[in-house]
Amino acid sequence: MSETEIIYKSVCRICHGGCGVFVHVKDGKVVKVKGDPESPLNKGWMCVKGLKTPEIANHPDRLTKPLKRIGGRGEGKWQELSWEDALGEIAERLAKIRTESGTESVALGQGTGRHHYMHVVRFANALGTPNWYEPGLAQCFIPRITVSNLTYGGFVVGDYYGEVKPKCILFWAHNPLVTGPDGELAISVKRALDSGCKAIAVDPRRTETAKRCGLWLQIRPGTDAALALAMINVIISEGIYDKEFVEKWTVGFEELKAHVAAYTPEWAELITTVPSANIIEAARTYATNKPAILEWGLGIEQNHNSLQTVRALAILRAITGNIDIPGGDIIGMNVIKSYPTLKDKLPEGMGKKRLGGDEFKLLGGWRAFMPSAHIPALFKAMRTGDPYKIRALLIFGNNPLTTVANSKEVYESLKALELLVVTDLFMTPTAAIADYVLPAAFWTETEQVIGYPLVVENMVMAQNKITQRGECRQDEWIINELSKRLNLPGSEESLEDVMNAQLEPLGIDYKTLKEKGFIYPEHEYRRYEVQGFRTPSRKVELLCKSLQRLGYDTLPSFKEPPESPISAPDLAKEFPNILITGSRRAEFFHSEHRQVESLRKLRPDPGVELHPKTALKNNIENNDWVKISTPRGSIRMKAIVTEDIHPDVVSVEHGWWFPERQGPDYGVFESNANVLTNNAPPYDSAFGSYQLRGLLCRVEKEN
């Protein structure tokens, strides 16, 4: 007899997540997911991916049992084994490597922020290795978090949740109507735009978000710092900055004023290709329509001037006084405790062995937000043993063959490992060359306490374990079981213990939070008026002496990208177009979901956007298959010819592989943007960021 349909309350994590949902379950399977109208974030709305949750949860290709490689690496020969045997064997091999080469020879990898993110960091510290990575970090989010902490003493997000609505939103290298991350959801932005606020987009593409904006600044990729400095120049020279806030709550204004005097809109026009009149209009609109939100995205971090580019944007927000005011950019309440990552358990001196830590102090040094390894250095150590050999890599929810720069070099690095363990939902190109593949739980099968928006944590929600698929296990469970077998610090604590510790400030436990669903305290604005900002000066640091002490410039400046028409004119003769590689689509999340039939029907082929002028010059028509080439390699995609892109720019979609193809590579090198990207120096001196946008490329029609 069929069971009655049961409805559970939870939080969707199909992406970074945040949408409150009702999950409908029948006969032990998810059959429908609907938005929760009471959720303070999505208020009943859901994206196309979240609505397809049942199709993913019940997909026939899900990994459901632990697998051990029995043939040659990449031959696709696997043996099923029990969790007891799999974890026992992995732990035994890890223990041997640690004894022989030191724990630093073991690395951990993971994907973008999911439920297990901080638990992987906890595992690294408990294990005693300084070498963990996530493909973003220096390239995504960590520069914004770090710069916010250095400049204002806390991270900020747009206030879409209070009674006061923003009068202006400046979208900078961010397309939240498609990519809305970490509780900063697309629907919140859409509702703000629907309210009639003024909107500006800085982007080489007229994205879904830019199409809703009254002003679109078609910037040359990699020149964001120049544009931001020119806008600061206009705001200061025209006296339209917030004089009261600047005088009372900032330090370094006079030095900033002198510093930006030469960065005129006319100077910036020659660099950015944005007309000076548009720069002036954007600066005036943003500065004079208060409250205003500055929505910044990862495009500003994917260059070798990451620190100072982000700093320039942070200063724009500060001089207009749009910090922690209703309808502006608000500083986090941090209503729960930080995740207990056991950073005190990392053995003394091990931090100095972190790959890239000495060189990139804000990525891997003591002042870093989440000290981690520099990815190019880490993968180099796998291949070459310089400065020491990385022998083992455990990956949780990451497919680096698609999501780490220079994919062919990544492949050689992974093949050189003695032990590769991958935990994932499906067999991926990376998992296919592993020694062990472990079946991960989907979001309907996991538990978590989630503070949203991420880092800010102004509200807290519970993610509930609702179903169980085969022998799939939550990543945290896998980590805990390995920790027990290795007798690591903290292994006696369960996941529920950790979650309860996070909730202590609220006086509740995880079980209570599950019953409530979410807790959303009223935001306290302008707390700095009582306690100051959490910086050494207790003010916003326009001139940052903390950076000076670390050996970095105290005020932002512009650097020309190392591979561009300006810096490499000879190379530009062979590769005349400018490449950006981060285009996202609503149907997918990075490299995920391409095996989901209903989503794939909406976006069956990889696409490359190019301007009609570029298409005409190369005899390309819409929907033609074309070859895109850089000095690193070539890929193929379908042409999308559009006026909605900078005339010199070519934009390729990110994360493509073909689950329907034959393994082990599943066509991972055919249409993968990271075949084209560059992980070589020069790097940002603070974060080690490298150039993923603004690279030189050539596009040709396939024969």
**pLDDT at 2 (0 to 100):** 55
Q: 186, 141, 456, 112: which is closest to 298 by C-alpha? A: 141
Pairwise CA distance, residues 625 & 398, whole Å: 29
Cβ atoms within 10 Å of 472's Cβ, excluding its own? 23
Angle of the 306-319 helix axis to the 224-237 helix axis, nearest 10: 30
Model confidence pLDDT, tens digit, residues 387-417: 999 999 999 999 999 999 999 999 999 999 9
**Beta-sheet strands, E only, within 410-479:** 419-424, 436-439, 448-452, 459-463
Tokens matching residue 672:
């993968």
Written as one string, the DSSP assignment of 251-265 is E-HHHHHHHHTT--H
- Measure the CA–CA gap between 677 and 633, rounded to whole angstroms: 9
- Residues 231, 184, 466: CA angle, nearest 5 degrees: 165
Share of the chain above pLDDT 90, in %: 91
β-pairing, 540-541 vs 633-641, is: unpaired
CATH number belonging to the domain at 156-331, selected among 3.40.228.10, 3.40.50.10420, 3.40.1280.10, 2.40.110.20: 3.40.228.10
Domain spans in the chain, listed from the N-terminal domain onward: 6-57, 67-140+335-447+474-491, 156-331, 569-701
Tokens coding 591: 């490299």
Q: What is the CA radius of gyration of the chain?
A: 24
Q: Which residues contact 553 (CB under 8 A, 6 or more apart)?
A: 308, 547
* pLDDT tens profile 485-505: 999 999 999 999 999 999 999
* Class of the CATH domain delimited by 569-701: mainly beta
Exposed e or buried b for every residue in 524-558, given b needs 16+ CB within 10 A?
ebebbeeeebebebebbbbbbebbeebebbbbbbb
Q: What is the mean pLDDT of residues 553-577?
A: 98
Q: Which amino acid is at 269?
A: E
The length of the chain, given as a count of residues: 703
Instruction: Using pLDDT thresholds of 50, 70 and 90, give the confidence band for residue 94.
Output: very high
CATH topology of domain 67-140+335-447+474-491: Rossmann fold (3.40.50)
pLDDT tens track for 305-349: 999 999 999 999 999 999 999 999 999 999 999 999 999 999 999
Neighbours of 702 (CB within 10 A): 11
Where does the pLDDT of residue 369 fall: very low under 50, low under 70, confident under 90, or very high at 90 and above? Answer: very high
Q: How many CA atoms lie within 13 A of 106 on its CB side?
A: 22
If pLDDT is split at 50, 70 and 90, which confidence band does 1 have?
A: very low
Given a cut of 80, is residue 3 above it in pLDDT?
Answer: no
Are the CB atoms for 220 and 510 separated by under 8 Å?
Answer: no
255-269, 307-321, 584-598, 609-623: range with lowest mean pLDDT? 584-598
DSSP, collapsed to helix, strand or coil, labels residue 18 as coil
Mean pLDDT of the chain: 95
Average pLDDT estimate for 62-74: 95
Q: What is the pLDDT of residue 534?
A: 96
The DSSP code for 552 is S
Under 8 Å between Cβ of 432 and 420: no
- Of 94, 95, 30, 90, nearest to 66 by C-alpha is 90
Task: Find how far residue 57's CA is from the centre of its chain.
Answer: 24
CA–centroid distance for 89 within its chain: 33
Strands 329-331 and 156-158: antiparallel
Q: How far apart are CA 400 and CA 431, in angstroms?
A: 10
The mean pLDDT value for 68-73 works out to 94
State the burial class of residue 391 (Cβ atoms within 10 Å of its Cβ: 0-12, 13-18, 19+): buried
184-199 per-position pLDDT tens digit = 778 889 999 999 999 9
Residue 182 has pLDDT above 80, yes or no: no
Beta bridge partners of 35: 21
Report the C-alpha gap between 278 and 36 in whole angstroms: 41
pLDDT at residue 17 is higher than 60: yes
Residue 527: its pLDDT value, please?
Answer: 95
Token pair of 112 as six digits: 């973008």
Eight-class DSSP state of 94 = H
Helices of type H across 528-611: 528-531, 545-550, 569-574, 597-602
Q: What's the one-letter identity of residue 553?
A: D
φ/ψ of 270, rounded to 5, equals: -65, -25
Q: Do domains 6-57 and 156-331 have the same CATH topology?
A: no
CB 331 within 8 A of CB 455: no
Assign 240 to helix, strand or coil.
coil
Indicate if the pLDDT at residue 449 is higher than 70: yes
Give residue for tokens 């093949």.
415
Contact 146, 170 (CB under 8 A): no
Q: Does the pLDDT value for residue 633 go beyond 80?
A: yes
Instruction: Write out pLDDT tens, residues 506-516.
Output: 999 999 999 98
Q: What is the DSSP letter of 80?
A: E
Mean pLDDT calculated for residue range 202-207: 97
Give me the percent of the chain exceeding a pLDDT of 70. Answer: 100
CA–CA gap between residue 430 and residue 432 (Å, rounded): 5
pLDDT at 457: 85
The DSSP annotation for 346-393 comes to SPTTGGGGSTTTTT-HHHHSTT-SS----HHHHHHHHHH-SSS---EE
Closest C-alpha among 478, 480, 378 to residue 424: 478
CA distance 398 to 430: 8
Topology given in CATH for the domain delimited by 6-57: Phosphorylase Kinase; domain 1 (3.30.200)
How far, in Å, are 138, 346, 368, 675 from residue 104 at the CA level? 20, 11, 19, 29
DSSP H helical ranges for 180-291: 186-194, 224-237, 243-249, 253-260, 265-272, 276-288
- Number of Cα atoms under 13 Å in the Cβ half of residue 459: 25
Contact 475, 115 (CB under 8 A): yes
Region 114-141: mean pLDDT is: 94
CB 662: neighbour CB atoms within 10 A? 9
